[in-house]
Chains A and B, each alone.
Chain A
Amino acid sequence: MNIDYTKELALVEGNPRLADIDEIITRPLTQPPTRKFYIALSVSVTALLIGAYSLWLTLYYGIGMWGNNVPVGWAFDITNFVFWIGIGHAGTLISAILFLLRQKWRTGIARFAEAMTIFAVMTAGIFPVIHTGRPWLAGYLIPYPNQHLLWPNFVSPLLWDVFAVSTYFTVSLMFWYMGLIPDFAILRDKSVDKIKKTIYSIFSLGWRNSNRHWRHYEKTYMIMAGLATPLVLSVHTIVSFDFAVSLIPGWHETIFPPYFVAGAIYSGFAMVMTVLIIVRKVFDMENIITLNHLERMAKVMLLTSSLVVYAYLMEFFIAWYSQIPAEQYDFWARVVGPYRWGWYFMVSCNFLIPQLIWFKKIRRSVVVLFVISICANIGMWFERFIIIVQSLSRDYLPSSWHMFTPTLVDFGVLTGSFGLFFTLVLLFAKTMPVISIVETKSVLEGAQPTVHGGSDHE
Chain B
Amino acid sequence: MLSTDIGYIKKEFPKKIKTIGLTLFVVGTALGIIGFLVNPQRASLSYLVTFMFLVSIGIGSLFLVALEYAVGADWSTPFRRISEFLAGIIPFLIILVIPLLLNLKNIFPWTHKSIVDSSVLLRGKTAYLNVPFFIARTIGIFLIWWIFYYFLTRNSRKQDSTKDQYLTKKNIRISSGFIPVFGFSITAIAFDWMMSLEPNWFSTIYGVYYFAGTVLCALAALTLFVILLNEHGYLHSKINSEHYYTLGLLMFAFTVFWAYIAFSQYLLIWYADMPDETIWFMHRWVGPWKVVSLAIVFTHFVFPFFYLLSHSIKLQAKKLKFIAIWILCSHLLDLYWLVMPGMPSNGYQYYFSWTDLVFPIAGVGLLILIFKFLSEKYNLLPIGDPKLQRGLDFHL
Contacts and interface: CB of A to CB of B under 8 A. Distances in A.
A406 interface: no
A321 B128 contact: yes
A167 interface: no
Main secondary structure of the interface of B (DSSP, over half): helix
Interface string A214-250: 0000000000000000100100010001001111000
A247 B311 CA distance: 43
Contacts of B396: 455, 457-458
B7 interface: no
B130 interface: no
Contacts of B245: 457
A233 B390 contact: no
B213 to A, nearest CB: 14
B203 A318 contact: yes
Interface string A444-458: 000000000001011
A318 B202 contact: yes
Nearest to B311: A457
B274 A247 contact: yes
Given A3-B165, A245-B267, A245-B272, A254 B205 contact: yes
Contacts of B205: 253-255, 257-258, 314
Contacts of B264: 237, 244, 254, 256-258
A255 B212 CA distance: 13
B204 A254 contact: yes
A241 B267 contact: yes
A306 B180 contact: yes
A376 B230 CA distance: 46
Contacts of B272: 245-247, 252
Interface stretch (B43-51, B101-109, B119-127, B329-337): B119-127
Interface in B130-180: 165, 168-169, 176, 179-180
Interface stretch (A4-12, A58-66, A70-78): A4-12
A321 B74 CA distance: 42
B291 interface: no
A257 B379 CA distance: 42
B261 interface: yes
Nearest to B122: A323
A92 B396 CA distance: 22
B271 interface: yes
A254 B256 contact: no
A321 B125 contact: yes
A237 B168 CA distance: 37
Nearest to A103: B71
A263 to B, nearest CB: 14
Interface in B206-249: 206-208, 245
Interface string B12-25: 00000000000000
A332 interface: no
A258 B245 CA distance: 27
Size range of the interface on A? 35 or more
Contacts of A237: 260, 264
Contact of A233 (B165, B169, B260): B260
B204 A3 contact: no
A406 to B, nearest CB: 29
A167 to B, nearest CB: 17
B183 A310 contact: yes
A455 to B, nearest CB: 6
Nearest to A243: B268
B350 interface: no
Contacts of B267: 241, 245
A8 B268 contact: no
A311 B260 contact: no
A245 B264 CA distance: 10
Contacts of A307: 183
A161 interface: no
B141 to A, nearest CB: 15
Of B120, B204, B268, B390, the most chain A CB neighbours within 10 A belong to B204
Contacts of B187: 310, 314
Contact of B120 (A306, A313, A323): A323
Contact of B204 (A5, A318, A358, A455): A318
A315 B203 CA distance: 9
A253 B274 contact: no
B112 interface: no
Given A254-B268, A306-B183, A314 B207 contact: yes
A209 B342 CA distance: 62
B268 A314 contact: no
A146 interface: no
A322 interface: yes
Contacts of A230: 256
19 contacts: A4-B386, A5-B165, A6-B386, A8-B390, A246-B272, A254-B203, A254-B204, A254-B205, A254-B264, A255-B205, A255-B208, A257-B261, A258-B205, A306-B179, A306-B180, A307-B183, A310-B180, A310-B183, A318-B204
